[in-house]
Structure 1
Amino acid sequence: MTPEQVKLVQESFAKVAPISEQAASIFYDRLFEVAPAVRAMFPSDMTEQRRKLMATLAVVVNGLSNLASVLPAASALAKRHVSYGARPEHYPAVGGALLWTLEKGLGDAWTPEVAEAWTAAYGTLSGYMISEAYGTIQAAE
């Protein structure tokens, strides 16, 4: 990721943060729509899960300018997700739902440059997480 892409991700996330509860709901609704099989991996009450999602995203987004600082947490998260039943093929659905949510939440602020920056961020982190959890390097966009 370029420094400009990091800046775009951080600035755009700051615009979504005020609507974090709504954004998390939109994300999970979309994820379960495009990948209904993953619904069973989540609790019936998604309140805490939505909060965790947005808190984790905030940590990752804020750490993008020093990626090495978030990699240990990303590794641990990836390994935990294996125990929940997550598989490498789930990562593209998650990424697609995330980008779709950001597009809806940002409206006109979702520019091609912002989309490219988020795609790069997700591809970088998901590829790392997949390699940590499953021992294979893959990009999930």
Structure 2
Amino acid sequence: MTPEQITLVQQSFSKVAPISEQAAVLFYDRLFEVAPSVRAMFPQDMTEQRKKLMGMLAAVVGGLSNLETILPAASALAKRHVAYGAKAEHYPVVGATLLWTLEKGLGEAWTPELAKAWTDAYGVLSGYMISEAYGAQPQAAE
């Protein structure tokens, strides 16, 4: 990620933070709509889960300028997700849901440049988490 992309992600998240509760509801409603099979991994009462999501997003976004500070927490989270039944193939669905939520929440402020910055940020973090949870992904044969 470029420093400009990091700034874009951080500035846009500062606009989401005041509506974090609504954003989390939107996120999980959408996730369960597009991937109903994951609903069983979550508690019936999603109040605490929504707070955890927004707290983790805030920590990650805040740490983008210094990734080393957030990688241990991301590694631990990835490993906990395995115990809950998460699989590597869930990460793209969660990423798409996050981008959809941000687009809805940010409205006209959601630009192609901002979408790319968030896509890149999620790609870096999810790639790391997948490798931590499931081991290094095999390289394609050349």
TM-score clears 0.5? yes
Mapping for residues 9-24 of structure 1, pairs under 5 Å: 9-24=9-24
* 1:129 maps to 2:129: yes
Tell me whether 1:93 sits opposite 2:93 in the alignment.
yes
- 1:114 equivalent in structure 2: 114
**Structure 2 residue ranges without an equivalent (≥5):** none
Q: Quote the sequence identity (%).
A: 78
Match of 1:83 in 2: 83
Q: 1:26: which partner in 2?
A: 26
**Any idea what the Cα deviations from partners look like across 1:93-135, whole Å, max 9, x if unmatched?**
1001000000000000000110000000000000000000000
Could you tell me how far 1:30 is from its partner in structure 2? 0.5
Deviation at 1:36, TM superposition (A): 0.5
Query: Who is 2:63 aligned against?
Result: 63
Residue 137 of structure 1: how far off its partner (Å): 3.5
Task: Specify every segment of 5 or more residues in structure 1 that has no aligned partner in the other structure, as ranges.
Answer: none
Off by >4 Å, runs of 4+ in structure 1:
none
Query: What SS does the corresponding residue of 2:89 show, helix, strand or coil?
Result: helix
* Amino acid paired to 2:132: E
- What do the CA deviations read for 1:78-101 (whole angstroms, capped 9, x no partner)? 000000000000001100100000
TM-score, scaled relative to structure 1: 0.96
- 2 CA distance for matches of 1:10 and 1:47? 24
- The structure number with the bigger radius of gyration is 2
- SS in structure 2 at match of 1:88: coil
Report Cα offsets for 1:64-88 as digits up to 9, x if no partner: 0001110000000000000000000
